Amino acid sequence: DLFGILSGILLSKTVGTSVQAVLSVWVLLQVVEVSCVYKQLRSVVFRMLNFERLWIVTNSFIDLTMMESTNGNSSSVLGRTSRDLLRNGSARDIAVPTPDAVAKDERLFLPPNHLARRGRSFGSFGRAKLSPTELQSLIELFRKERFMLVVGRDVKNPHVRLNRLSGLVGANQNQDNSHDDRLKEIIEQLKFEAEENCHIILHVDANNADIVKSTLALAILRRKLSQSVPTLDELKAVSDSIALEKVVDTYRNRRSNDCMDLIENAREEANETFGLFLKVLSVRGWTTPARSMFGRVTMRADWPTRRKNSRKETML
């Protein structure tokens, strides 16, 4: 404090006492202060997972272990296929971001990326307005889990990022570059909506380990839904704008009953890789799920489960 007062007195003698000079110096000092605070916060490394950090690490894990290459073969990591890594690989072979790497890119003043927000990933039964048939099918599918994956638009909070999709669909269809660009925009919008229009429902007894597992399953499901949208060649083959609009609406309005096979595959793959994922988190320096801070997820539901608590779950 004394050093600051002394610096202020010396600075006032140098720049004078006019209002313009004082305001200019004040603005300059504020910029310096904010920059110093930013550097200070950026240097802090959190080893404890919150949902945004978990989402970053989860997507990296999927990229390294589960994604297929463009030619249909398993992708290669360190000279080994993804299937071999999952079956026989060591957790040290899977280089997901460390806490230091995530800290360098983590958003400090800006909100998380849209799909990395907790509010977009967790919801309730009413968010997609499940029918009794869908609800019964999902309860049966997730009877051994303390979470559930649901596909469907958010009817409580409608949100569409690109409102001009209808205009793109109804535009004149000419086989030229501008038409191809419109189709590519339609595909990108369909991929975005496919990833956005699915969420997790947590059971009332779900713990942090269940949140991590459900996040892994949701990330897998989002990838599968995004990859299932029509390709450019498939949209080009559609004869007219009316038929194109029907195709687009079919994918935009998909619900859980339409994607039950994808939901089941995502759940099974999450079960297969969850143990390895926990080992990878530990090896890369992250804390165990029991010590993670995901905040309070108040939207929970209750359904009959066949799962019993175990000593291993308590340790997680």
Query: What pLDDT is attached to residue 89?
Result: 56
What band does 4 get if pLDDT is binned at 50, 70 and 90?
low
- Report how far residue 51's alpha carbon sits from residue 238's, in angstroms, rounded to the nearest whole number: 41
The answer to pTM > 0.85 is no
pLDDT value for 68: 44
Q: Does an H or E element contain 150, and which? A: strand 147-151
Query: Average pLDDT for residues 221-241, to the nearest whole number?
Result: 88
Identify the pLDDT of residue 240.
77
Averaged over 129-152, what is the pLDDT? 93
Element holding 198 (H helix, E strand)? strand 198-203
Residue of higher predicted confidence among 187 and 306 = 187
User: Is the pLDDT assigned to residue 79 strictly greater than 70?
Assistant: no
130 neighbors 138 (Cβ within 8 angstroms): yes
- Average pLDDT of the chain, as a whole number: 80
The answer, yes or no, to whether residue 87 has pLDDT greater than 80, is: no
Mean pLDDT of 262-289: 90
Q: How confident is the model at residue 313 (pLDDT cuts 50, 70, 90)?
A: very low
As a whole number, mean pLDDT of residues 113-134 equals 87
Residues facing 74 on adjacent strands: 68
Q: Are 147 and 213 in contact (CB under 8 A)?
A: yes
pLDDT at 85: 59
More confident residue, 191 or 10: 191
pLDDT score at 227: 92
pLDDT for 155: 83
130: Cα separation from own chain's centroid: 23
Q: How many Cβ atoms from other residues are within 10 Å of residue 242's Cβ?
A: 10
